[in-house]
């Protein structure tokens, strides 16, 4: 994730929207039971944390897939392995 995007994600005052989601009652009961044990003020912040973790993991996979696809395309177009590695090193 880009630094600028990560900085936005850490802003506690970013805009929120309300959603409605149907979930089994026993799942909600479990979330309510485990939330305080994990340091959350309620089950909704825990659900947001779970969603955020999954979303970040999927975004990272997508970004890595895009980067891998770009590298493979550069190789097919004759860009040397050394030049690709040097360019990747500059990004780090």
Q: What percent of the chain has pLDDT over 70?
A: 89
Task: Please state, in angstroms and rounded to a whole number, the distance separating the CA atoms of residues 53 and 74.
Answer: 32
Q: What's the pLDDT at 62? A: 85
Tell me if 10 is assigned to some domain: no
Say how many domains are in the chain.
Answer: 1
Tell me if 14 is assigned to some domain: no
Tell me if 36 is assigned to some domain: yes
Residue 35: CB partners within 8 Å, gap ≥ 6? 41, 42, 43, 45, 46
Task: Compute the mean pLDDT over every residue in the chain, rounded to the nearest whole number.
Answer: 88
> pLDDT class for 35, splitting at 50, 70, 90?
very high
- Would you tell me how many other CB atoms lie within 10 Å of the CB of residue 46? 19
Tell me if 73 is assigned to some domain: yes
Task: Please state, in angstroms and rounded to a whole number, the distance separating the CA atoms of residues 71 and 87.
Answer: 10
Tell me if 2 is assigned to some domain: no
Give residue 37's domain range: 23-91
Tell me if 69 is assigned to some domain: yes
Task: Please state, in angstroms and rounded to a whole number, the distance separating the CA atoms of residues 38 and 32.
Answer: 11
> pLDDT class for 2, splitting at 50, 70, 90?
low
How far is C-alpha 48 from the geometric centre of its chain's CA atoms?
12
Tell me if 11 is assigned to some domain: no
> pLDDT class for 4, splitting at 50, 70, 90?
low
Tell me if 18 is assigned to some domain: no
């Amino acid at each position: 994730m880009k630094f600028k995007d990560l900085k936005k994600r850490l802003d506690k005052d970013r805009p929120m929207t309300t959603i409605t989601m149907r979930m089994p009652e026993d799942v909600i009961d479990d979330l309510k039971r485990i939330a305080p044990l994990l340091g959350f003020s309620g089950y909704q912040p825990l659900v947001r944390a779970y969603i955020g973790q999954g979303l970040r993991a999927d975004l990272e996979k997508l970004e890595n897939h895009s980067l891998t696809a770009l590298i493979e395309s550069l190789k097919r177009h004759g860009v040397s392995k050394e030049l690709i590695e040097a360019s990747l090193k500059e990004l780090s």
